[in-house]
A = this chain, B = another copy of it.
Amino acid sequence: RDAAAHAAAVARNGQLTKPPGALGRLEELAVWFAGWQGTDRPRCERPQVLVFAGNHGVVAQGVSAFPAEVTVQMVANFRHGGAAINQLSKAFGATMSVHALELERPTADFTVAPAMEEAEVVAALRCGWEAVDAGADVLVTGEMGIGNTTPAAAIAAALFGGEPAGWVGRGTGVDDAGLARKADAVARGLALHAARLGDPLQVLRCLGGRELAAMAGAIARARVERVPVVLDGFICTASAAVLEKAAAGSLDHCVAGHVSAEGGHGRLLAALGKAPLLDLGLRLGEGSGAALALGVVKGALACHSGMATFAEAGVSGA
């Protein structure tokens, strides 16, 4: 983070033609972007949206309202421009790409074996790492993977503790029995892999999925490139949490785009100390909540970087 750019942005913010603090959280967001982008006039002109897709062995446990074939169908929908994330990316001028990670070869069911081998999780991390455009001025990572709220809940429970029932939610819309099956699957996964769960990367390997690992890889790369990240919902945030637990401060370049309707998301954000920009009851994934928050980012940066100062405008101060 560029302390000089941050300080220059704070100074500029104090001179803009508005009462001090009157743009609320937009002011805080703009100076934070300034620090990461290394300029006192940050911009949101080249947002990048990455969508990673994976399939999950744990769907065998009856944890999703939709069949696993929907993952590959939705990838086709992303490629043809028909999904929500396509519309949101276009609305906010973001480039969007979809990365399908071996959909024909789901991860292992984590209630019976580690979800991934070492080589598999490394390959998925690398896919995310390499997908980041170092010239982007903000990054959104999203996902698609039928069943993936269950791995996300398992990761959250492994990293932060607490009962599985406190981390699972209805995902795409499971009923009470489905919810109970999710909590049960998470409990069995935690028990089976207990000896390895002290290491956050083993948590990702044993309980996660390829698209979750890819998001973690992309978020880590963005940190190296100083590209600020807008976090999406529960699954994205669970992936990001692996990085934070592996090295505290790893998510300093991330802002929470929204809090989703999925049960554990608010709790997960609170554990990470992230206050969401939006709270509109979304629970779609794909990066949709974060992409919607690009509107707030665009507004914040447009004000900060485009407004006149009191001196420029000849306006009297308080």
Known: A23-B284, A91-B299, A92-B299. 17 other contacts (CB 8 A): A19-B172, A19-B283, A22-B284, A24-B283, A66-B318, A67-B316, A74-B313, A77-B313, A80-B308, A81-B308, A82-B308, A82-B312, A83-B313, A87-B306, A278-B278, A292-B295, A295-B295
Interface string of A274-291 (1 = CB under 8 A from B): 000111111110001001
Q: Does A25 count as interface, using CB distance less than 8 angstroms? A: yes
Selected from B284, B291, B316, the residue in CB contact (under 8 A) with A69 is B316
Q: Interface range on chain A: under 10, 10 to 19, 20 to 34, or 35 or more?
A: 35 or more
Q: CA of A294 to CA of B308 in the docked complex: distance in angstroms? A: 22
Check A315 against B73 for contact (C-beta < 8 Å).
Answer: yes
Q: CA of A67 to CA of B296 in the docked complex: distance in angstroms? A: 31
Check B316 against A66 for contact (C-beta < 8 Å).
Answer: yes
Check B20 against A77 for contact (C-beta < 8 Å).
Answer: no
Q: CA of A69 to CA of B316 in the docked complex: distance in angstroms? A: 8
Known A24-B261, A69-B316, A82-B17; judge A296-B299 contact (CB<8 A): no
Which residue of the partner chain B has the closest CB to A288?
B23
Check A281 against B82 for contact (C-beta < 8 Å).
Answer: no
Selected from B20, B84, B173, B282, the residue in CB contact (under 8 A) with A307 is B84
Interface string of A63-86 (1 = CB under 8 A from B): 001110110011011001111101
Residues in chain B near residue A216, CB distance under 8 A? none
Residues in chain B near residue A291, CB distance under 8 A? 299
Q: Does A26 count as interface, using CB distance less than 8 angstroms? A: yes
Residues in chain B near residue A288, CB distance under 8 A? 23, 303
- A49 to chain B minimum Cβ distance, whole angstroms, is 13
Q: Does A179 count as interface, using CB distance less than 8 angstroms? A: no
Residues in chain B near residue A307, CB distance under 8 A? 82-84, 86-87
Check B77 against A308 for contact (C-beta < 8 Å).
Answer: yes
Known A17-B82, A22-B172, A315-B70; judge A299-B308 contact (CB<8 A): no
A-B CB contact pairs (8 Å), 9 listed: A16-B84, A18-B83, A19-B284, A22-B284, A24-B280, A66-B316, A69-B316, A73-B314, A292-B296
Q: CA of A288 to CA of B296 in the docked complex: distance in angstroms? A: 12
Q: Does A126 count as interface, using CB distance less than 8 angstroms? A: no
Q: Does A298 count as interface, using CB distance less than 8 angstroms? A: yes
Check A26 against B172 for contact (C-beta < 8 Å).
Answer: no
Residues in chain B near residue A91, CB distance under 8 A? 298-299, 302
